[in-house]
């Protein structure tokens, strides 16, 4: 199907000129739209759009979107969705009173996922990750960043990144790959962490660069994981190999990770549940995109990032799922929108900007995704008939998405 016309759209949302990105501060409260609209897609690209009084002749394929809204597909800029198995045993442990940190200290957590992943083949990991990608696609996600970090050995980190590369090349979603070898110190290196960091810098990174397996470098900068100094040296090594930083900071403790991210021109600093006044000030004076992960806060029962304050400070807030088996076993952006509105006091428009344009910027796909703009990829959501965009975060737990279009193709199933 080379041309597709969507017409009688009740409201076409997130209509923007090229170049207006990311959306910051006060501007986040508005999502530009056209009522009673049409969009023409040709060869997978948004060719044109407008209000119904200018609607072109019907090509062969037409969707009548009467009563429905159309918006750009979500851009989920932070996930760990390649993993071997779920960890609901830890979930039950937390119900009984253990904290995420206590579970990790007892050999659960990231190391538990690494143990499970060691035995899986690339083929098995591709199969399970494809199911997850299909699921999030039907929840409206059109682009997704995926991290390694459950390998924690040269062979297993490369295996994970090859899996992500395969998904990039074979799945309809736009995929970005992040190397997160510095996700945790493996048990056998507990007494010799320098050696694990040497492995990351001298063995993993050159091999990853050689095979072109990653776009970004990430480090879990956190007490009991990686210090700010270690984070800095790993980021510098990644940068030397052409990988830009996108890092985990301030999830449980504020140890200076934000400043390390700023210093190394990170694309984004992610989590931010615990922030000092200095962290907020430094971030506000930088160009780094702050990414909050409300479904992680929900699942672990930890504080929510001060997203409202960051918007008030003029920042381009981004929201993502953090889909992973330990802290967020969910890739559901509509649920993230509900939490952002209910728990972080974001307006629906602010939340929508955070998962479309700003999500695209946080994985550097803003020139092809994140808004309804001529020339961008036709990755679109068509909702069920609803009153307004506010209905999506309001109706938490319901799926109000009727159809998802990726590269101009209607995704079935
Ligand atoms: O972003 N915080 C570090 N990494 C993940 C959790 C990983 C896991 O528990 O498996 C996160 O929350
Ligand atoms: Fe994460």
Kindly state if the Cβ of 149 falls inside 6 Å of ligand 1. Answer: no
Kindly state if the Cβ of 181 falls inside 6 Å of ligand 1. Answer: no
Ligand 2 center–CA 64 separation, angstroms: 39
Per-residue pLDDT, 315: 97
- What are the phi and psi torsion angles at 326 (to 5°)? -100, -55
Per-residue pLDDT, 60: 81
Per-residue pLDDT, 1: 58
Per-residue pLDDT, 412: 83
- Cα distances from 92 to residues 85, 88, 96, 250, in angstroms, run 16, 6, 6, 25
In this structure, the residue with its CA closest to atom 12 of ligand 1 is 327
Per-residue pLDDT, 87: 95
**In sequence order, what are the residues at sequence separation of 6 or more whose Cβ sits closer than 8 angstroms to the Cβ of residue 255?**
221, 222, 223, 227, 228
Ligand 2 center–CA 79 separation, angstroms: 6
Ligand 2 center–CA 111 separation, angstroms: 14
Kindly state if the Cβ of 220 falls inside 6 Å of ligand 1. Answer: yes
Q: With b meaning 16 or more CB within 10 Å and e meaning fewer, what string describes 288-325?
A: bbbbbbbbbbbbbebebbbbbebbebebbbbbbbbbbb
Q: Tell me which residues have their CB within 5 A of the ion that is ligand 2.
A: 322
Per-residue pLDDT, 413: 66
**In sequence order, what are the residues at sequence separation of 6 or more whose Cβ sits closer than 8 angstroms to the Cβ of residue 194?**
none
Kindly state if the Cβ of 251 falls inside 6 Å of ligand 1. Answer: yes
Per-residue pLDDT, 127: 98
Other CB atoms within 10 A of residue 36 CB: 16
Looking at the chain, the number of H-run helices and the number of E-run strands are: 16, 16
Ligand 2 center–CA 322 separation, angstroms: 5
Cβ contact 252:223 at 8 Å: yes
- Cα distances from 178 to residues 77, 158, 216, in angstroms, run 10, 12, 4
Structural tokens at position 23: 């959306």
Per-residue pLDDT, 57: 86
Cβ contact 312:68 at 8 Å: no
Cβ contact 173:406 at 8 Å: yes
Kindly state if the Cβ of 108 falls inside 6 Å of ligand 1. Answer: no
Identify which of 45, 147, 70 has the alpha carbon closest to the alpha carbon of residue 376. 45
Kindly state if the Cβ of 112 falls inside 6 Å of ligand 1. Answer: no
Per-residue pLDDT, 41: 97
Ligand 1 center–CA 48 separation, angstroms: 41
Residue keyed to tokens 């922030």: 275
Kindly state if the Cβ of 87 falls inside 6 Å of ligand 1. Answer: no
Atom of ligand 1 nearest to the CA of 270: 1
Per-residue pLDDT, 305: 98
Cβ contact 351:71 at 8 Å: no
Q: What CATH class does 74-361 carry?
A: alpha beta
Residue keyed to tokens 């530009």: 32
In this structure, the residue with its CA closest to atom 9 of ligand 1 is 326
* CATH code for the structural domain at 3-72+372-412: 2.30.40.10
Q: What angle do CA 28, 33, 39 make, to 5 degrees?
A: 130
What does the domain layout of the chain look like in residue ranges? 3-72+372-412, 74-361
Longest Cα–Cα distance in the chain: 71
Q: State the DSSP H helix or E strand holding residue 156, giving kind and residue range, or none if neither.
A: helix 154-170
Taking 50 as the pLDDT cut, the residues of the chain under it are none
Other CB atoms within 10 A of residue 43 CB: 11
Atom of ligand 1 nearest to the CA of 300: 12
């Amino acid at each position: 199907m080379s041309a597709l016309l969507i017409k009688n759209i009740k409201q076409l949302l997130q209509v923007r000129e090229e170049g207006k990105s990311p959306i910051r501060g006060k501007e986040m409260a508005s999502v530009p739209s056209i009522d009673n609209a049409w969009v023409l897609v040709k060869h997978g690209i948004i060719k044109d759009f407008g209000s119904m009084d200018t609607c072109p002749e019907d090509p062969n394929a037409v969707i009548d979107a009467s009563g429905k809204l159309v918006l750009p597909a979500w851009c989920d800029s932070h996930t760990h969705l390649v993993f071997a198995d779920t960890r609901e045993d830890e979930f039950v442990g937390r119900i009984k009173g253990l904290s995420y940190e206590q579970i990790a200290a007892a050999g659960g957590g990231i190391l538990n996922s690494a143990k499970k992943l060691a035995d899986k083949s690339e083929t098995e990991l591709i199969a399970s990750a494809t199911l997850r990608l299909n699921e999030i696609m039907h929840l409206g996600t059109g682009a997704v960043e995926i991290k390694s970090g459950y390998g924690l050995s040269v062979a297993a980190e490369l295996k994970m990144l090859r899996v992500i590369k395969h998904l990039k090349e074979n799945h309809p979603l736009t995929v970005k790959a992040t190397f997160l070898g510095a996700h945790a110190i493996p048990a056998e290196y507990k007494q010799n962490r320098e050696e694990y960091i040497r492995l990351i810098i001298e063995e993993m990174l050159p091999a990853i660069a050689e095979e072109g397996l990653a776009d970004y470098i990430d480090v879990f900068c956190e007490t009991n994981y990686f210090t700010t100094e270690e984070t800095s040296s790993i980021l510098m090594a990644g940068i030397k190999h052409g990988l830009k930083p996108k890092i985990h900071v301030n999830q449980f403790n504020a140890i200076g990770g934000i400043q390390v991210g700023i210093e190394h021109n990170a694309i984004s600093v992610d989590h931010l549940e615990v922030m000092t006044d200095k962290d907020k000030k430094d971030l506000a004076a930088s160009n780094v995109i702050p990414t909050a992960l409300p479904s992680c806060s929900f699942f672990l029962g930890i504080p929510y990032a001060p997203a409202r304050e960051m918007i008030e400070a003029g920042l381009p807030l981004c929201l993502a799922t953090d889909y992973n088996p330990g802290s967020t076993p969910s890739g559901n952006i509509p649920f993230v929108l509900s939490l952002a509105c209910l728990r972080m006091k974001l307006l629906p428009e602010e939340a929508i900007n955070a998962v479309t344009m700003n999500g695209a910027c946080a994985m550097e796909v803003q020139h092809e995704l994140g808004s309804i703009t001529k020339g961008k990829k036709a990755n679109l959501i068509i909702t069920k008939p609803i009153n307004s965009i506010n209905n999506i975060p309001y109706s938490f737990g319901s799926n109000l998405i009727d159809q998802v279009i990726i590269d101009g193709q209607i995704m079935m199933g």
